[in-house]
Amino acid sequence: MSMSELRVVSVKIPEEVYKEMVLRVPEGERSNFIRDAIIEKLQKTPKPDKILELERRLGKLEAEFSQIRKYLADLELLTYERGQTNPHTFCLDELDHKIMDYLMHYKGATTPELAEYLKTNRWLILNRLRRIEKASRKQLGKPIIKYYAGEKAGKKKAWWINEELIEI
């Protein structure tokens, strides 16, 4: 800070603070002491232009983050809102897509039902369902399909599409 021109400031302080200053600071040094204390306190107080600079940088970060979110959404790796996930995002091949189509149409299915519909081994179907469940849980925080051993909609031990996550 430049001390080119000095200004006179009048300050009211509590009696105890004044007595403490009289004890600690010699008479000719008190003005310098008070000036230094004010300067020291000002150095610790953020300047308005610093705040503006931080706001500008934060705005820039938010814009960059939005751009990243857009890229991820374009790659179908990010869901914005409830009901906005494309379940086919987690399919690797035609078999996975057929499994997902069946589950979306019927809302749920047992492994043997899927195996019969797709004319393939039920163990292959089970492995695909588990992989889709795991991949979706990792990416979305919740699985896009869930296995439920109890009875639901007339089916026991079936896989169910998580309707709250998908586009209907």
Tens digit of each residue's pLDDT (9 = 90 or more) over 68-82: 766 665 565 554 455
State mean pLDDT over 152-166: 87
Least confident of 13-22, 40-49, 81-90: 81-90
Contacts of 152 (CB under 8 A, 6+ apart): 108, 158, 160
| pLDDT greater than 80 at residue 54 | yes
Contacts of 159 (CB under 8 A, 6+ apart): 103, 108, 109, 110, 111, 114, 129, 145, 146, 147, 148
Tens digit of each residue's pLDDT (9 = 90 or more) over 100-109: 999 989 989 9
Which of 52-55's residues contact partners 24+ apart within 8 Å by CB, and which partners? none
Residue 70: predicted pLDDT = 63
| pLDDT greater than 50 at residue 57 | yes
Residue 80: predicted pLDDT = 43
Q: What is the mean pLDDT of the chain?
A: 85
pTM of the model: 0.51
Residue percentage of the chain with pLDDT more than 90: 48
| pLDDT greater than 70 at residue 115 | yes
Residue 88: predicted pLDDT = 85
